[in-house]
Amino acid sequence: MAVIEAAPPPAGAGARRLAWRQAEVVERVAETHRATTLVLDVPGWPGHLAGQHVDVRLTADDGYQAQRSYSIASPPEVPRLALTIVRLERGEVSPWLVDEARPGDRFELRGPIGGYFAWSVTAGGPLLLVAGGSGVAPLMAMLRHRAASGEAGHAVPARLLFSSRSFADIIYREELERLGSAPGGPAIVRTLTHERPPPGWRGHARLIDAPMLAEVGFPPAAAPKVFVCGPTPMVEAVAEALVGLGHEPGRVKTERFGATGGE
């Protein structure tokens, strides 16, 4: 298995419990028609690594509670946490977060969780990020962290291959365009999978496949650190194609979310 670059939290029974904290919504950002970013003030937040996630807990008036996990989209350098959430039609928690939450609302969260699917500039690169839909959120934290790290960040070659259903579904579209065109910025390659691209589209128009990964990704000999996040079928296909191209399986880190029902 790959070397763990990020310092993990202490393990075992002696570890301190991850406390539930109060999060207050300070801003809502409409990303797409289905995705919203909530910017949160979380007093006492201990800091995190790009790629980690939090558990969110909502409580109804009669005490009924529901929990879900969401990736952190903001980099460690920013004190306020950003979560980007897509509304799932049969969801229980995401509809409240996407449609109902407004500035001043409070709910509980705890974290950061997960030290494997995490990256920092000190771990080096090259960095190959492959995202599907809202799977871009933890990878965005990595790109934002890279951008916030100045020279050290620019020294790490980075590429993002980002698959969205349609042009209107591209999360962080303008910020990614800015990042990609900035000096020392990452290479951003986009593909649209379900709708014909608009006129003048400079990107792909099919599911991510091995030829696309061979074209966009670094060669296996460059030993890139690879992070893949998206819906299960996309992650399975991408990880398999990367291994087929010769990338060391232990350097391909994946995070999947279920296609339906799961949040």
Chain residues that interact with another protein, rule: CB under 8 A: 1-2, 4, 8-18, 22, 55, 57-61, 63-69, 92, 96, 100, 105-108, 113-117, 232, 236, 239-240, 242-243, 249-250, 252-254, 256-263
DSSP-derived secondary structure for 74-88: S-TTSSSEEEEEEPP
Say how many C-beta atoms besides its own lie within 10 A of residue 221's C-beta.
7
- Residue 58 C-beta: closest distance to another protein, Å: 4
Of 188 and 252, nearer to another protein (C-beta) is: 252
Say how many C-beta atoms besides its own lie within 10 A of residue 184's C-beta.
15
Phi, psi of 226 (to 5 degrees): -110, 130
Q: Give the integer Cα–Cα distance in Å for 204 and 218.
A: 18
Across the beta sheet with 158-164, the strand order is 187-192, 158-164, 127-132, 225-231, 252-257
- Residue 233 C-beta: closest distance to another protein, Å: 9
Of 94 and 149, nearer to another protein (C-beta) is: 94
- Residue 224 C-beta: closest distance to another protein, Å: 14
- Residue 215 C-beta: closest distance to another protein, Å: 20
Of 92 and 195, nearer to another protein (C-beta) is: 92
Of 58 and 161, nearer to another protein (C-beta) is: 58
Cβ contact 238:209 at 8 Å: no
Q: Give the integer Cα–Cα distance in Å for 20 and 34.
A: 27
- Residue 104 C-beta: closest distance to another protein, Å: 9
Of 211 and 233, nearer to another protein (C-beta) is: 233
